[in-house]
Amino acid sequence: MKCVYKIALITICTVLTSGNALARQNADSLENVLHNTKNDSLRFKLMIELSQTYQYKNFSKAKQFSDQALTLAEAKDWTWAKIIVYGQEGFLATISGDYSRAMKFDNQNLQMVIEQRDSASIAETLNFLGNDYSDLGKYDEAYYYFTQSYRVARAIDDSLKMTVAIYNIGTVLTELGQYDLALDHFDVATRISEAVGDLDGLPYNQDAVGDVFLRKKDFKKAKENLTKALKNTRARKITVLEPRVLKNLARLYLATRQFEKALATYDSAARIYQSTNNEFGVAEVDLGISEVLIEQGLLDEAQKKIESSLLTAKNFNAYKMSINCNKHLSALAERKGDFKAALEYHKTYKLLEDSLFSQDMIERIFQDQLRFQTENKDLEIATLSKATSDQLKEIKREEFLRNILVVVVALTIILLFTVYRSGQRRIKINKLLIEHQEEINKRKEELEQLNQVKDKFFSIISHDLRSPINALLGILNLMDGDNITREEFVTLTKELRTQFNHTRTLINNLLDWALLQMDKLKIQPEKIELSALVTENFNLLLSLNLKEMKLINNVPPNTYVWSDLNMLNLILRNLILNAIKFSKAGGNIEIFTTEKNDWITIAVRDFGVGIQPEVQRILFEKTMGYSTRGTANEKGTGLGLILCKEFVEKNGGTIWLESQVGVGSTFYFTLRKA
């Protein structure tokens, strides 16, 4: 739902009529005045006043008067009037759940306030557009408009509009599951609201915080905040917020299995939505009620509610509601034993969810400045258009003073064309310069990282290669002088073999890393039978008699992945050796897989010493190269895991780990299913 601050813009028309008797008359008196007056400007103000008076009492009448005001404002082409009536039309569309229509009027309003260079209204309207997109589940677009609103508000040092933008950004972060970051935003918004005396903003923040704690299943804090939000909402008479708080309270009652309270609270929210003809809001309530009915075992009634809500979601192109409807239908079908239908609904649910919360959308949220250059009639283009218009007026004044109209018009055309072309070139050049600078900075960072890694690895080479060579030289000198017994020779040879095994692994990893950095290591993906490859690597490592470990292959036969064979071998060997290194002699090392969609997750599990949490965070960092000695004092370089990460990502997968000190560690990585 739109935030209460939209009401603040709509009530601007009250300022236009303040100081006279109109604001104090009741609806009947206002209608009588409207019927008798012939002054179009006064008629417009009366229509807006009546629309606002009726918007929560008689929605049809509110819409009727707003539509009349819209017709009059457009017929007269009054910019000031269109700004007011577009705002009222957008607000009525919002409280009725028609977010597409709200978006239309908010877009029109944005262009007009940009032309007026009204920064305060620009910040407000950007917030309204963000709310429109957020209500439809388009969070990347919503995030873009909210951040733009914040930038404009910050530029004009408007604390109230800044706190609205911060609050709205927090709502997007909540939907993306970034709860702690969302709470930080709501905390900032609350403190600013308290500082500037924004009493209407406090229940909004309380409701949002309660929603976050409800999602985190902290029911005590959720109830505390939602109860405060409902109390303050009713005290401040914020009708547009009340049904949302009620829905969140109903969700809380459902989560704590207070089904009767949940149904009663949903009914209260539905009555408010019905009073404003908000079909979308009623559909949201029906979807919530269906969850209660499912828990009560009333499956047929629940299905009717969900199917009705799904139809409304499709009519409004509401992705988020469509996702929830399909999710509930899948759960309902499973409860009924119709597993085929449950699977189909689940597939649709996952498809919609993957589409809504795609990686591209997440990336767009954090690249909103790039989107700023491509959005329809964005702020920068509007400002440029306004600057061009001002130049044209200035040129025309000069034409009049010189009294050489024909020549000046010709010069003006040429000048405008030149300015336009020059402006376009400057925009392109600036964009290229920015991209070039970003590329330089990126390359600089990469080079600095590579230099750090290079220095670390040279240090490793100078130390780890010298030790086994010096040891070998010492043994040879002893043998040459017959100063060593056979028993001493056997003991030293065993130690020397261990050092050379480490050195061989180090050299192989260094060579692979060097080829990788020079882009000489080409990927040649192929279909690979994973179980056989794991067995092959186990046999190879068992031949080295490393701690007499028990290597367990739990990969099902005929499990095929799509990967480069050499790289996959290196990944498996490094992870297995790493597991052996940090396991006690005679322990178990297990490899198993899981499948999901088109991906296979391979897991290498040991039951060794585990890894400290602070170490887990830096294991895959290229500049860290963290290493520690194993349970048998084995040395390492920290290069193996870095190579694993590089090779997994080059094959399109990801790598991570789970570990508990004293229990063991499991390294996971994903590859595409062949």
Six token digits for residue 52:
């606002």
CATH topology of domain 1-116: 1.25.40
- Output the pLDDT for position 246: 92
For residues 379 and 122, the answer to whether their CB atoms sit within 8 Å is yes
Distance, in Å, from the CA atom of 294 to the CA atom of 335, rounded to the nearest integer, reads 9
For residues 328 and 291, the answer to whether their CB atoms sit within 8 Å is yes
Mark the ranges of the chain whose per-residue pLDDT is less than 70: 1-25, 97, 355-396, 399-400, 407-408, 422, 446, 449-468, 470-473, 479, 481, 494-506, 508-521, 543-546, 622-638
Cα–Cα distances in Å, from 76 out to 63, 260, 510?
A: 20, 54, 77
CATH 3.30.565.10 fits 523-673, yes or no: yes
- Output the pLDDT for position 390: 58
**Buried b / exposed e across 82-104, counting CB within 10 Å, b at 16+?**
bbbbbbbbbbbbbbbbbbebbbb
Distance, in Å, from the CA atom of 667 to the CA atom of 606, rounded to the nearest integer, reads 9
If one counts every other C-beta atom within 10 angstroms of the C-beta of residue 604, the result is 23
CA of residue 42 relative to chain centroid, distance:
47
Distance, in Å, from the CA atom of 613 to the CA atom of 149, rounded to the nearest integer, reads 39
For residues 608 and 666, the answer to whether their CB atoms sit within 8 Å is no
- Output the pLDDT for position 20: 37
Cα–Cα distances in Å, from 134 out to 1, 144, 250?
A: 9, 11, 22
- Nearest to 171, CA basis, from 230, 108, 244, 101: 244
- Nearest to 91, CA basis, from 36, 138, 40, 51: 51
Distance, in Å, from the CA atom of 11 to the CA atom of 3, rounded to the nearest integer, reads 14
Six token digits for residue 65:
């008067």
For residues 352 and 326, the answer to whether their CB atoms sit within 8 Å is yes
For residues 68 and 47, the answer to whether their CB atoms sit within 8 Å is yes
